[in-house]
Structure 1
């Protein structure tokens, strides 16, 4: 009986911790990406719902919706369509920041984005 109670307690703690990680991904994240000598500020507006990720990327060029967003623990992925078909990106939630690796035309770039405090 003691083992059953201990197992249930462990599972409950794991579920609560996982839910906290998922909930923390929801929010606004800002950062700069660099393409050679050019820099572009991006804002990610993310919403986590269980293992599903939705949201958009906003820049001075407009807003692009995320599609096929998935969350697995502190890792996440999504796709965006920027004209040449869907491009997949992968990310990692690290508390006060997220790190996203995107591949375009065979080249991968990794950038870090910081959480923006909600007003």
Structure 2
């Protein structure tokens, strides 16, 4: 009986730790994207985590755009944003120990990579 209780408590603690990692994903993140055309574009995201769902927005020269189809699985997550009428898929990995996010971006067949760091702006 004690073994079952201990095992249950240990599993609950592990699940809580996993969710605590993604609670840290909530907030503002910034980075830069070096595009195939040679230009650098600033990336600014505000992520909000609710269980396994990701919402928020991206802010750029065109204004603010909402994140759609946001999903979280472990340290991996994905979402879409609208860039001038093009639905852009972002596949990401959260690295809590480095407080960074690695992003793979698919823009009309062009594959790009960027790294985000937590913003110090409040």
Calculate the TM-score normalised by the size of structure 2.
Answer: 0.89
Partner of 1:15: 15
Distance in 2, matches of 1:73 and 1:19, equals 9
Alignment of 1:105-116 (within 5 A): 105-116=108-119
Mapped partners of 2:106, 2:38: distance in 1? 18
Q: Does 1:39 align with 2:70?
A: no
Superposed CA deviations along residues 79-115 of structure 1, whole A, max 9, x for unmatched, are 112213x322111111211111110121211100100
- What are the superposed Cα offsets for residues 3-53 of structure 1, whole Å, 9 maximum, x if unpaired? 202211221111211121120110000011111321111111000011110
**Unpaired segments of 5 or more residues in structure 1?**
none
Residues 21 and 73 in structure 1, CA contact (< 8 A), matched pair in contact too? no
Aligned length: 118
Question: Which whole-Å CA distance do the structure 1 matches of 2:70 and 2:91 have between them?
Answer: 10
For 1:1-119, list aligned pairs within 5 A: 1-35=1-35, 36-82=37-83, 83-84=85-86, 86-95=87-96, 96-117=99-120, 119=122
Q: Secondary structure at the match of 1:25?
A: coil
Structure 2 residue ranges without an equivalent (≥5): none
TM-score norm. by structure 1 comes to 0.91
86-95 or 23-32, larger mean C-alpha shift: 86-95
